[in-house]
Amino acid sequence: MPKNRVSKRSAAKNPVTEDVVKEPVTEDVAEDQAAERSATENPVEPEGHELFLEIRSQELSHRILVPLLRRLTTRLFEELMSRGIELKEILTCATPRRIALVIRGLPDQEPDGEDIFLGPPLEEAYLDDERERPSETLLELCKTHEVELDDLRETPTERGRFMAVVKTRDGRPIHPLISEMIHRHLGELTKSSDRGFGSDRWPRPVTGFCALLDGTPLDQAFEGLQAEAWTVGHLDDEPLPITGWDSWSEILAEQGIVPSYEDRRTLLKSKIRDLAAELGGKPVEHPGLLNRVAASCAVPTVIHGDIAPELLTLPEPLWVHTLAERQQAFAVRSETGLLPFFITVIDRAGDPEGKICRGYECAVAGHLADARFFYETDRKIPLARRVRRLEQLTFHERLGTWAEKSRRLKALVEPACRELGQPEILDSALEAAGLLKADLATSAVLELPELRGTMGGLYAREEGYVEAVWQAVHDQYQPRSTSDPIPRSRVGQVLAVADRLGSLVGFFGIGDGIPTQRHDPFKLRPLALGMLRILIEADMSLDLDLLSARALKLYEDRLDHSAEDLLKQLQQFLDDRLTHLLGVKGFKRDEIEAAKAVGTRDLPDLIARLEALQTVRQREAFNGLVRAAKRISKMTAGSPEAQLVPDSLTEPAELELHEKMTQVSESLAESISASDYEQALHHLLDLAPTLDRFFADVLVMDEDEGRRSNRLALLQACRRLYWKVARLNAMEESTWVESDSSTTT
């Protein structure tokens, strides 16, 4: 390899135009590229005025930068829309040292409008029905806005009708309006920024402020800096005059700056892939690393460095995580294994003398040497001996140590294996449960907490534990995200479910961990989703309510809530997460409600019912089944359960329905016993024509009480048949359209 560490493509002055993705160009892609070039060469100028803002500061992290920009943009957009101002375009950009936005298509002035000030609800506005005695609240509203009672107006809202003051507002010219809005929203934004330099300052010292309306600086100041009509380049304070977004973009491009985060991410992904190919391999993906490096630079340039071959003896996860978490660098892998190189991103046009690269090489070597020391030290002490150290590690101050959590976990394993009907895995599951958290006391995990589970599994395999045990330890935190696989073995799946359920019961029991709409301090939502995914995808028939009650007893007197309240809260929480997960899997809400209403706690069984509903509803006859279920439910609603007397049935239609129900009931029971719910629904479809004849020929609500009661009993028996698969009355009818070849939903 050449000694120059900078990728040839990364050294270009303008990385946006120089970067080329080496992929075959299809006809569709060629058309898209031609359209893009046409749009670039012949831009359509939006009508109206242009507002351009840029705030430059000392370096901000992406976690702060993006929320600030999003909040400012949202507030400006919402106020403009509330004033009836329609916009043509809003664009935003962010780099570590600047945020910028442009709003195009602003009119000369805002339209005339009305400001509505709500008072009391109409029913509380007057003390009498004749509306002659206004309430104190209504009089106070008039006094506040200096109007008479006759000037008030009844105003309908989503919450009902209110008395209100309506004031006509003349549209203001856009220049003073925008100036006032910028001043107010920037002030509110800094007050809400509770990080960095305090509640009334930008999170980092501001170094520049540009605010232009049609190229002219607004009469504005921010953080002690007057609005200017110039920007600066990368790591440079030389003023560069600009007139708006377009000239600003051109100047930054000349400086090699890529202001768009998404553009930088796409560009870096391509550059890293190409440089890895030059090195003879592919970059090893690491969760979130590409996002972090894209957020940490404005001039995206990739370099590579060498690693001492003797460090390649480290396990790959430890190697990859050390590079990613300590140096934001990518490992490189070929078909035969890891290569002695790393790839990282620098925030400048290049490294012609290799000084930056040599600095990275020294740092990487140091971190990998530390990782090797941790690894070799950990291997000297078996995992089984490290378990004792868990007594000194706190899981949660109110829920005890990690050792106590491990003991609770082992107590849940046996009933879970017994309920699954798999006693043969019990010994391996108990052995794995004892080792599950042992790697929390290892040096490698203390240094890199993201490797918990992974390192424990590696150490267990090296110590000779059977595959089911070490895989269970390795996979215990899977799935960490929606794209992660579930644990590989049944032992690992049982332990992962029991571990998650024990944590959920504990945090719900102490109360302060229950997720709210805005806060989930212990990440219980992803914890619950992962557990539900395992149960569904591993086809595990476990009763979570029963297992939760067992877990609750293991906490003894540590929990605040009563058992009944806790289990009710947890059940509702899991039910909401399940609904969300099933929606993500493609099931419709009415299908989910209909299947869940049966009350099954067996998730694989629930999935089988949903899949049957999803399949059978593709048939047009299914709508008739739904209509019949709704009609039966409506006619039997509120009626007490009646005793069916078959000998009292006299009408041919009701006799036919009773006979058909008997036949269907037997076939239905066989299908449900085999969990063949699709076939069960087909049996119910066979019942639909007989039901139609019954409703057409028989008067259910007969004047004779005996006939009426017997016919209601017949329908109630029919309803029980329908509800054995799903509450079909909760389903919506499908909309059918005719196509050239067939009828489809």
The 10s digit of each residue's pLDDT in 554-596 is: 998 888 878 888 899 999 999 999 999 999 999 999 999 999 9
Which part of the chain is CATH 3.30.70.600?
A: 49-109+173-254
Beta-carbon count within 10 A of 296 CB: 18
560-565, long-range: CB < 8 A, 24+ apart:
560/509, 560/510, 560/511, 561/508, 561/509, 561/511
Mean pLDDT on 315-324: 94
565-574, long-range: CB < 8 A, 24+ apart:
566/505, 566/508, 566/509, 569/508, 569/514, 570/504, 570/505, 570/508, 571/544, 571/545, 573/504, 573/508, 573/514, 573/515, 573/524, 573/528, 574/504, 574/528, 574/532, 574/544
Q: Which CATH superfamily is domain 49-109+173-254 in?
A: Ribosomal protein S10 (3.30.70.600)
Angle between helices 563-584 and 490-510 (to 10 degrees): 130
CA–CA distances in Å: residue 685 to residues 214, 666, 674, 690, 712: 68, 15, 19, 10, 21
Give 407-422 as a DSSP string. Answer: HHHHHHHHHHHHHHT-
Mean pLDDT: which of 86-90, 266-270, 656-660, 690-694 is highest? 266-270
What is the spatial distance between Cα 47 and Cα 86, in angstroms, rounded to a whole number? 12
Cβ atoms of residues 716 and 641 within 8 Å: yes
Task: Choose between 129 and 177: higher pLDDT.
Answer: 177
Give 459-491 as a DSSP string. Answer: HHHHTT--HHHHHHHHTTT--SSTTSPPPSSHH
Mean pLDDT on 173-183: 89
Number of helices followed by number of strands (H, E) in the chain:
27, 20
pLDDT grade, residue 51 (50/70/90)?
very high
Q: Which of 449, 458, 529 is nearest to 497 (CA)?
A: 529
pLDDT at 169 over 80: no
Architecture of domain 384-585: Orthogonal Bundle (1.10)
Q: Where are the beta strands (DSSP E) in 588-735?
A: none
Bridge partners for 396 per DSSP: 400
pLDDT at 21 (0 to 100): 31
Q: Read off the pLDDT of residues 617-649 as tens digits, 9 standing for 90 and up.
A: 888 888 888 888 888 888 888 788 888 888 888
Cβ atoms of residues 465 and 530 within 8 Å: no
Mean pLDDT in the chain?
A: 86
Q: Where are the beta strands (DSSP E) in 514-583?
A: none
Mean pLDDT on 342-359: 93
Which part of the chain is CATH 1.10.730.10?
A: 601-737
Structure tokens at 579: 């609904």
Mean pLDDT on 18-38: 39
Within 13 Å of residue 381, how many CA atoms lie on the same side as its CB? 15
Pick the CATH number of 601-737 from 3.10.20.90, 2.70.98.10, 1.10.730.10, 3.40.50.2300: 1.10.730.10
pLDDT at 197 (0 to 100): 41
pLDDT grade, residue 67 (50/70/90)?
confident
CA–CA distances in Å: residue 645 to residues 112, 487, 642, 649, 717: 74, 55, 9, 7, 12
H or E segment at 187? helix 174-191
pLDDT at 711 (0 to 100): 87
Which part of the chain is CATH 1.10.3210?
A: 384-585
pLDDT grade, residue 312 (50/70/90)?
confident
* Angle made by CA atoms 301, 302, 306, in degrees to the nearest 5: 150
Give the global pTM.
0.76
Q: What is the DSSP letter of 170?
A: P
CA-only gyration radius of the chain, Å? 34
**What type of residue sits at position 305?**
G
Mean pLDDT on 246-271: 94
What is the spatial distance between Cα 41 and Cα 114, in angstroms, rounded to a whole number? 43
Mean pLDDT on 147-158: 86
Mean pLDDT on 510-535: 88
pLDDT at 200 (0 to 100): 57
pLDDT at 665 over 50: yes
pLDDT at 192 (0 to 100): 55
Cβ atoms of residues 555 and 408 within 8 Å: yes
Q: Which of 289, 377, 275, 364 is nearest to 319 (CA)?
A: 364
pLDDT at 358 (0 to 100): 95
Cβ atoms of residues 383 and 352 within 8 Å: no
Cβ atoms of residues 460 and 435 within 8 Å: yes
pLDDT grade, residue 199 (50/70/90)?
very low
Beta-carbon count within 10 A of 340 CB: 14
- 702 by DSSP, 3-state: which? coil
Q: Read off the pLDDT of residues 447-472 as tens digits, 9 standing for 90 and up.
A: 999 999 999 999 999 999 999 999 99
pLDDT at 703 over 80: yes
CA–CA distances in Å: residue 408 to residues 6, 434, 522: 54, 10, 19
What is the spatial distance between Cα 288 and Cα 645, in angstroms, rounded to a whole number? 68
Q: What is the DSSP letter of 639?
A: P
Beta-carbon count within 10 A of 87 CB: 17
pLDDT at 14 (0 to 100): 34
**What type of residue sits at position 308?**
A
End-to-end CA distance of the chain: 60
